[in-house]
Amino acid sequence: MQGTGTFWMPFTDNRAFKAAPKLFSAASGCHYTDVAGRAVLDGTAGLWCVNAGHGRAPIVEAIREQAGKLDYAPTFQLAHPLVFELSQRLVDVFPAGIDTFFYANSGSEAVDSALKIAFAYQAARGQGQRTRLVGRQRGYHGVGFGGISVGGLPNNKRGFPLLAQVSHLSATLDIASNAFTRGQPQTGADLADELLAIIAEHGAETIAAVIVEPMSGSAGVLVPPVGYLERLREITREHDILLIFDEVITAFGRLGAGTAAERLGVIPDIITTAKGITNGAVPMGCVGVRRAIYDTVIEAAPGGIEFFHGYTYSGHPLAAAAALATLKLYADEDLFGRARELEVYFEDALHDLVGAPHVIDVRNMGMVGGIELAPREGAPGARGKALFDACFEAGVLIRVTGDIVALSPPLIISAAQIDEIVATIAGALERLD
Ligand code: PMP
């Protein structure tokens, strides 16, 4: 044997990690257990995905059973019944009108699939000149080349070739006007009118789709101003441009409803999702589209393959089984309803941090909370990292992006556990310089 193998960790300071590893070996309910046997309260539902809590028996059983029954089947030219059953079931979770589903294995793949679907649709209806995409500053749409092109996080884009015809709207966060807002900020809807300027510059007839997260998670919890998404919907409809909501984080109860689209009453043409679709237990991404989009693409290529795109694991039997069991669990325990009820308590608890040292904003929607810290002078991100380490040390897992804390606990979390997370953060902030 030559040399020693190692794991190249994603989005990680590999040297720092390997000097002081944090390793989980088990999880149950709202807790991880690390390799030393210490319990860590999961304030982030893994990476925004374990909405029903960890190690849920019906999901575990469904995966186990499916693995023994049909471990794998292709979905190119063949398929298996579960993936159709799942598509039927998802109709109840997605907003009215979105009833056709394409499967991928992650949020990134779902986004790149959705962008290709947008191009395929435009071409199929004779609008092949619509080759421009519109994203948003600070948007996160995964790490595929399409996703980083429409995304707006400079670190993720730097050094990579990007799609050429992409315009970006401004991010909606305005701490100067909206600090410590509970729920949606009242001002900022007019930022959607920037789309009119992009249309004026390039012509609506060149734009295929606009993609935004209805509520940005990964970039640091950016809650949409009242009226903003409505305005985007209005403009895209007026100019016959597809509107895509990237709901990789916001679907499956995170905002107290099946989707953010439902919660906010704005229905796009395409929704991308992943994460909570299987409660994080098996990788799966999904693109939901209006039936007319599917029909148009299908009808444009009679007698042939209509869409040259797909993955070996699209609609994988284990993922489909996990998703079906997950959706049933969400329904059986009314976890979306629970999230809606718990949101009030969670919001109050989060806003107890107003006035804590270094805190310059607290924002929230559904079971998502963002706490923004003033950066330490000359060392952006240092406070966030110190807070993460202090909370981990104290047995609470939070997520930080730079100096912004993002909380997204499992929807089964108790009020006492919410208090524990907030008290741990408050205590750690007191000790931070
Ligand atoms: N889109 C959004 C809105 C996300 O939040 C994420 C992941 N946090 C992704 C896409 C990418 O998902 P994945 O990591 O599964 O590729």
Residue from 136, 150, 248 to probe ligand 1 pocket by mutation (most atoms less than 8 Å from CB): 248
Do 404 and 371 touch, CB atoms closer than 8 A? yes
116's CB contacts (< 8 A; 6+ apart) are 146, 307, 309
**pLDDT cut 70: percent of the chain above it:** 100
Average pLDDT, the chain: 97
How many Å apart are CA 126 and CA 107, to the nearest integer? 29
Spatial separation of the C-alpha atoms in residues 222 and 342, rounded to whole Å: 20
| Dihedral pair phi/psi, residue 98, rounded to 5° | -100, 105
Overall average pLDDT of the 241-254 stretch: 98
State how far the Cα of 293 lies from the Cα of 172, in Å rounded to an integer: 29
- Closest by Cα among 79, 109, 87 to 310: 109
Q: Which of 11, 136, 138, 140 to mutate to test the pocket of ligand 1 (most atoms within 8 A of CB)?
A: 140
Ligand 1 atom with minimal separation from the 48 CA: 8
Q: 297 and 345 share a domain?
A: no
Q: Is the pLDDT of residue 67 over 60?
A: yes
Cα 55–Cα 60–Cα 62 angle in degrees, nearest 5 = 155
**pLDDT digit string, tens, across residues 14-53:** 999 999 999 999 999 999 999 999 999 999 999 999 999 9
What residue ranges line ligand 1, CB within 6 angstroms?
Answer: 106-108, 111, 140-142, 213, 217-218, 246, 248-249, 274
In angstroms, the first-to-last Cα distance of the chain is 47
**Full domain range(s) for residue 38:** 14-55+334-431
**Interval between CA 108 and ligand 1 midpoint (Å):** 6
Its ipTM equals 0.99
Determine the average pLDDT of the residues in 249-276. Answer: 98
In total, how many domains does the chain have? 2
Q: Which atom of ligand 1 is nearest to the CA of 246?
A: 3
The pLDDT value recorded for residue 2 is: 66
Q: What is the pLDDT of residues 87-135, one digit of tens each?
A: 999 999 999 999 999 999 999 999 999 999 999 999 999 999 999 999 9
Q: What is the DSSP string of 326-390?
A: HHHHHHHTTHHHHHHHHHHHHHHHHHTTTTSTTEEEEEEETTEEEEEEPPBTTBTTHHHHHHHHH
Q: Does residue 9 sit within a domain? A: no
Same domain? For 391 and 302 the reply is: no
Q: What is the pLDDT of residues 123-169, one digit of tens each?
A: 999 999 999 999 999 999 999 999 999 999 999 999 999 999 999 99
Answer for the pair 286, 110: CB distance below 8 angstroms, yes or no.
yes
Same domain, yes or no: 95 and 160: yes
On whether both 275 and 260 belong to a single domain, the answer is yes
If asked whether residues 326 and 402 sit together in one domain, one would say no
For a substitution probing ligand 1, which of 108, 212, 254 has the most ligand atoms within 8 Å of its CB? Answer: 108
Does residue 5 lie in a domain region? no
3-state secondary structure of 147: helix
Q: Is residue 8 in some structural domain?
A: no
Q: Taking residues 185-208, report their average pLDDT.
A: 98
On whether the pTM is more than 0.90, the answer is yes
Same domain? 281 vs 223:
yes
Is 210 in the same domain as 327?
A: yes
pLDDT at 1 over 60: no
Q: Domain of 407: which CATH number?
A: 3.90.1150.10
Q: How far is the CA of 287 from the centre of ligand 1 (A)?
A: 13
d(CA 291, CA 289): 6
Mean pLDDT of 317-337: 98
